[in-house]
Structure 1
Amino acid sequence: MAISDDVRQIILILEEEGFGALAGEILTEISLGREVEKEDFLEDRSDKARAVETIVLRVPIEEPDQLQVAMDILRSRLVLPVRAFVEAERIASELVGDGQVRIGFIDPEQRTATPPISTRDVGDTSIADEFDALLTRLPNMIIPPEINGV
């Protein structure tokens, strides 16, 4: 199955910006195809009855649909976690009821706390909104040609 030009452009941008693992995930998912459930009839040898079993098949993703699949993967890996994080801080703040709760993380190697990820108001989804808007423009972005010898 050939990769569409739009998806190829997204892959190049992701790799150029240091998101090679995410680019690889998109390529893998498109190469594997989408999962489709299909009913299959099985014969029961004991009483000659036919039973129905649901099996999952992978079918190719056609080129016109590949861009949407790539965008869905990007949203699920980049935008949705930001929204979930904002929601977790909002819920924690409501539970505490006194001020804004900031979620922090502990660096497992150095065992030190990282600074809060966001300094915006709790519940502010503007970063996720801007990121989502950026994703819609991603297929139209052009990677500048590499300049050799500079």
Structure 2
Amino acid sequence: MHTQLQFKAWFTDPDPDAEPDDEVSRPVVGWRESDGAAMVLDAKTGSVVPAAEQEGFKSVEELPDTRPLGVVPGNGWRITQTGKGPVGGPARPVAAFLVYADHVVPVMNLPGRGDYSGAWKARGWRLLDPDS
């Protein structure tokens, strides 16, 4: 499966109140064909410029791909909270699993109170086999 790599260019923070080790980042928007230099948007001029030629340039970093690779049905798996008595409290059915490059996240339902920005936290939950 093809994933799109993403990169950030890091610069020293130009804010006069910034500490010497404070950094800011700008997304890399492309690569110069002639030499492969990372290009960033210069907000002041509205043009695309080489990151390494900008004041305060420090480095370019590849960002981890955080998009799911796929979804797998829950197939009877359940999860329960850990530390809730000997059985672990009531088990909740898993609707599906989101599969990422380096981990899997069970999906039970949408978060409450309209907060859809958070991620499922494995701490405090235990995955139960469908046959248990």
TM-score (normalised: structure 2): 0.25
Higher helix share: 1
